[in-house]
Chain A
């Protein structure tokens, strides 16, 4: 299972409904509406993990990453880019100066691979993805160690453009919410390592919006 969370251009009308990260959701909030939020381990919440190699005992905090290489997942990811930048800033350091080199791997799974292979000394990964990978690719995650877990954020939601027809939207929403009540749905949820879906609330993503406002953008990762 590879989580490729495409950020679609809703304004172009090419895509009406998408599973996206909380970061792009809050960034484009006026043009989007919430359809459903996945429940993971009982709550519509997840965390960002700071991971390093299982052999690396030196890294215990963000400050230990000075002069190290760091793998982000994607510039549009909350857990894989926004939060680590925010966390570093909270510690009083600027990431692009603090790291020897930071780079994007374009997916959460690739972050785990980059850390496991030694390409990056550490990386920021979606906690939900890491936990799911421990079930399906334990040989990969066993090479990594979780250093820190972030506070909980609203889980990446299912969103739709505001121009979406209400009836159709209601049908999609009902299908998602009813998924856990049918065997096929349960099977699908099991594959996705989710408990089910809830309608959700925009306030779930307030902390993400707060971080977005706080982080000073920089052209280099």
Chain B
């Protein structure tokens, strides 16, 4: 049941429930205590009133002065009739001597014969008049009945009966209870407001996390950007865990994507190599046959033109296949600072023509154990591509350096970014968007880097597109290659 409610509701509800329960328990304890106190007050009041009165009533009883007793019992004339307590003075025979309610308790009549609840009292006093203040229960449900003896020489010569309506403290009791209830309600309202605010504060990060989590699997991981706190409490730890999980998922997805691309490229490489090999064998025979035909055959001009056409076609097939069959020549001299700068010289005119600024950072020192020709071809391909992709007035930055046991080449430009769907197919052969070229530049570059046991990746955003190549130095690469 409560599981369906939001914490935003449950927190204030729990607070209110706890406070209400506490208030209820406290309220009941205080109410019971107040009830007992008020009842005790009533008895104390009756005792004080009674003992004060019997002092004055003694002489009246002794001198049989009914009028004096009456005036004492009824109190000041202005208050006559307002006193809720009934007071009856009885003589030693339990006849009414006087009372403040003469119509209910007629003078000189036995109390037992009055038509009142107190008529039961004489039975309870049958064993003699009490010698001290006593209360009597079960005389009347609505009255506290107290009896005070009127003593003369320590002997009871009469008694004053005080019959106090026991409900007299109810208005006071309800007043106290009402005030208490009102205070509790005010406190509960305040607690509800605080609880609402608190619940909201507690639940906000949870709701954020929950809505963020629900997006996993619905949207691409890179689109999920959540504002998460980094507190040290349980929720903070939850959020940190979620963030960690999101990162892991992202890494896994990107790794999977890279693997797919790399597997596709290597399958493509094997296919190309197989096809090329199958083409090359008959092709070589065909070229030899055509050459032989041209050199030794006698052909009319028509046939000769046709044979020449076949020869050019076969040459084109051989070139294309050769281009696809990238073969890094490993026997070249070791790469030096100058080899890199040569590339700069090669592209300088092209840069000027395209009005592109070339920023060149060549940090190579001495010669390193990598074949110069394939590395230079990789660098050249990348720089030319970058220049072509840059608008006039743009920049191309090139940085070459050794990092530990590898060579790092970065070529960046600030041209039009490459859309993500193109990046996946960027290194495939014949994949070109440019009008000129056949789209083998990056395929060749990729193949060379692969053969050098290196990695190439590309990052592209609105500001910058950057190709980054890392090639391990030959001491380790050579061993791998040999193996």
Q: Is chain B found bound to chain A in the same assembly?
A: yes
Q: Which residues of A contact B (CB under 8 A)?
A: 69, 71, 100-101, 103-106, 110, 114, 117-121
The stretch of B4-12, B65-73, B417-425 in contact with A is B65-73
Determine if B103 is an interface residue (Cβ-Cβ < 8 Å).
yes
Say whether B107 faces chain A, with CB atoms less than 8 Å apart: yes
Q: Which of B40-76 contact A (CB under 8 A)?
A: 64-67, 70, 74
List residues of chain A with CB within 8 A of the CB of B64. 103
14 sampled A-B residue pairs with Cβ under 8 A? A100-B108, A100-B109, A101-B108, A103-B64, A103-B65, A103-B66, A103-B67, A104-B67, A114-B67, A117-B74, A117-B103, A118-B103, A119-B66, A119-B107
A117 touching B102, Cβ below 8 Å: yes
User: Is B108's CB under 8 angstroms from A119's CB?
Assistant: no
- Tally chain B residues at the interface, Cβ within 8 Å: 14
Q: What DSSP secondary structure best describes chain B's contact surface?
A: loop
Residues B107 and A106 in contact, CB atoms below 8 Å apart: no
Q: Which residue of B lies closest to A117 (CB)?
A: B102
B65 touches A119 (CB 8 A): no
B107 and A110: CB pair below 8 A?
A: no
In the complex the two chains form, is A104's CB within 8 Å of B65's CB?
yes
**Please, which residue of chain B has its CB at the minimum distance from the CB of A99?**
B108
What residue of chain B has the Cβ atom nearest to residue A105's Cβ?
Answer: B67
- Report B126 CB to chain A, min CB distance, Å: 24
User: How many angstroms from the CA of A100 to the CA of B74 in the assembled complex?
Assistant: 22
Of all chain B residues, which has the CB nearest A101? Answer: B108
> With A and B bound together, what is the CA distance between A103 and B107 in angstroms?
10
Q: Does B106 lie at the interface of the complex (its beta carbon under 8 Å from any beta carbon of A)?
A: yes
Q: Which of A69, A103, A117, A121 has the most chain B CB within a 10 Å cutoff? A: A103
Q: Give the shortest distance, in Å, between A64 (CB) and chain B (any CB).
A: 16
Interface residue B98 (Cβ < 8 Å from any Cβ of A): yes
Residues of chain B from 371 to 406 with CB closer than 8 A to chain A in the complex: none
List chain A residues, Cβ under 8 A from B70: 114, 117, 119
Q: Complex formed: what's the CA distance from A100 to B64 in Å?
A: 14
The answer for the CA separation of A190 and B70 in the assembled complex, in Å, is 33
Q: Which residues from A are CB-within-8-Å of B65? A: 103-104
**Shortest distance in angstroms between A108's beta carbon and chain B's nearest beta carbon?**
12
For B108, list chain A residues within 8 Å (CB). Answer: 69, 100-101
Smallest beta-carbon distance B77→chain A, Å: 8
Taking A69-B106, A103-B107 as known contacts, 5 extra A-B pairs with beta carbons closer than 8 A to each other, sorted by chain A number, are: A100-B107, A103-B67, A104-B65, A104-B67, A114-B67
Judge whether B66 and A101 touch: CB under 8 Å: yes
Measured in the bound complex, the distance between the Cα atoms of B74 and A78 in whole Å is: 28
The answer on a CB contact under 8 Å between B102 and A110 is no
CB neighbours of A110 from chain B (8 A): 67
Q: Nearest residue in B to A120 (C-beta to C-beta)?
A: B107
- What are the residues of chain A within 8 A of B109 when measuring CB–CB? 100
A71–B71 Cα gap in the complex (Å)? 14
Given contacts A119-B98, A119-B102, contact A69 B107 (CB under 8 A): yes
For residue A55, which residue of chain B has the nearest CB?
B103
Contact partners of B80 in chain A: CB under 8 A: 117
* Alpha-carbon gap, A103 to B108, bound state (A): 11
Distance between B55 CB and nearest chain A CB, rounded to angstroms: 21
Closest A-B pairs by Cβ, 7 of them: A101-B108, A118-B103, A119-B102, A103-B66, A118-B102, A105-B67, A100-B108
Closest to B109 in A: A100
Closest CB in chain B relative to A119 CB, distance in Å: 4
CB neighbours (8 Å) of B103 from chain A are 117-118
CB within 8 Å for A101 and B102 given contacts A106-B67, A110-B67, A114-B70: no
In the complex, what distance in Å separates the CA atom of A159 from the CA atom of B154?
Answer: 47
| Bound-complex Cα distance A120 to B107 (A) | 8
- Could you tell me the distance between the alpha carbons of A220 and B29 in the complex, rounded to whole angstroms? 59
A71 neighbours in B (Cβ, 8 Å): 67
Q: Closest CB-CB distance, A219 to chain B, in whole Å?
A: 11
Within the complex, the shortest CB–CB distance from A116 to chain B, in Å, comes to 10
Chain B min CB distance to A23 (Å): 20
Measured CB to CB, the closest approach of chain B to A102, in angstroms, equals 9
Instruction: Tell me, rounded to whole Å, the shortest Cβ–Cβ distance linking A113 to chain B.
Output: 8
Measured CA separation A119–B99 after assembly (Å): 8
B99 to chain A, nearest CB (A): 9
Complex Cα–Cα for A100 and B107 (A) = 9
Interface string of B105-129 (1 = CB under 8 A from A): 0111100000000000000000000
